[in-house]
Chain A
């Protein structure tokens, strides 16, 4: 577990320094741990697991600037996953009472599950509902892999507007997931 923690931590720290392929490897490996972690805790709601894996990955990405290199990665990831899990259970609380205890064990990286089921919520469809100033930067920079400069030229937006659009758009996506679930 600690070997896994150290390796993941190195991947994240390099990723935070701007190395996108390391960051990709970090998210990929993290997703398997999250899946195992959430599958155990959502044993009564197996259909929700992949949606919550995606929501947590988005949260990890949007909040990645809050990771402090001196802090155990397990504690940081665990707190985010637990927060999103509780948030989900709270959103559902009106419909059915869930009393699964949320234990505090910190063995998050002890297990891993690389088998992704299909998510029920399609983030691509939520993405379409974003305003253009956020949607276009995400489509060009994040999905098509164009540079910020190319995207700026293509859309007529300024470079900083493209960066802000990506940032705010991904945050708006997280907010849409929350409100979407509440209205479901």
Chain B
């Protein structure tokens, strides 16, 4: 087939493209992904029994703001990486900022605590399970985010997979925050960050394979 024939073929019957394909695709992916993660948590874990009491504590909202802002920043970075020729600019800073802020808070908490309390602040009650539960709850959004990206056009596949993983980890951790009773900043700074990093690392590894177009 000659190039002119290909051009004629591509142009023939090329209907109007619906605007904002990216927004619609990510909205669909996040909607289904978040529903999936919530159902997964309710079926496997349940909801925090003292949820109503916990919601009155400031630290509950600090924790919520932390994971939700990682998810939001992951979404911004993933969306930018889904379009050819869009620069990341300063958007990666939005990912770094919440983690840095939490680490500063954790350092203050640890410095304030008695030496005997510090281990408990870091390990909490659930450090062994926490990262894996977050990674598990991130699976629905991870699959959905990769589907969204696959239908767009990422050109930096390793980074794109990483961002999809962070978005998924952020949403997974946000959902988990409704169950998890850990409130100490040092705990969150280690195990939540680790939990959200697992899907990000997986995404960076599989991105070049699954996102090719």
Q: Does B1 contact A (CB under 8 A)?
A: yes
B 67-101 contacts with A by CB, 8 A: 82-86
CB distance from A5 to the nearest CB of B (A): 13
Contact of A123 among B1, B83, B86 (CB under 8 A): B1
Interface residues on chain A, number (Cβ under 8 Å) = 57
Inter-chain contacts of A127 with B (CB < 8 A):
1
Inter-chain contacts of B2 with A (CB < 8 A):
116, 118-119
Asked if B13 contacts A66 (CB within 8 A), the reply is no
Q: Does B111 contact A (CB under 8 A)?
A: no
Of A22-30, A39-47, A94-102, the one contacting chain B is A22-30
CA distance A82 to B85 in the complex (A): 10
CB distance from A67 to the nearest CB of B (A): 8
Interface residues on chain B, number (Cβ under 8 Å) = 30
- A66-B21, A82-B155, A122-B1 as given contacts; A58 in contact with B10, CB under 8 Å: yes
Determine chain A's interface SS by DSSP, over half rule: helix
Asked if A80 contacts B3 (CB within 8 A), the reply is no
User: Which residue of B has the minimal Cβ distance to A143?
Assistant: B9
Q: Would you give the 0/1 interface string for A81-99, flagging 1 where the beta carbon is closer than 8 Å to chain B? A: 0110001000000000000
Inter-chain contacts of B1 with A (CB < 8 A):
54, 119, 122-124, 127
User: Which residue of B has the minimal Cβ distance to A170?
Assistant: B10
CA distance A116 to B4 in the complex (A): 8
Q: Does A16 contact B (CB under 8 A)?
A: yes
Contact of A17 among B9, B16, B86 (CB under 8 A): B16
Q: Which residues of B contact A (CB under 8 A)?
A: 1-18, 21-22, 82-86, 152-153, 155, 212-213
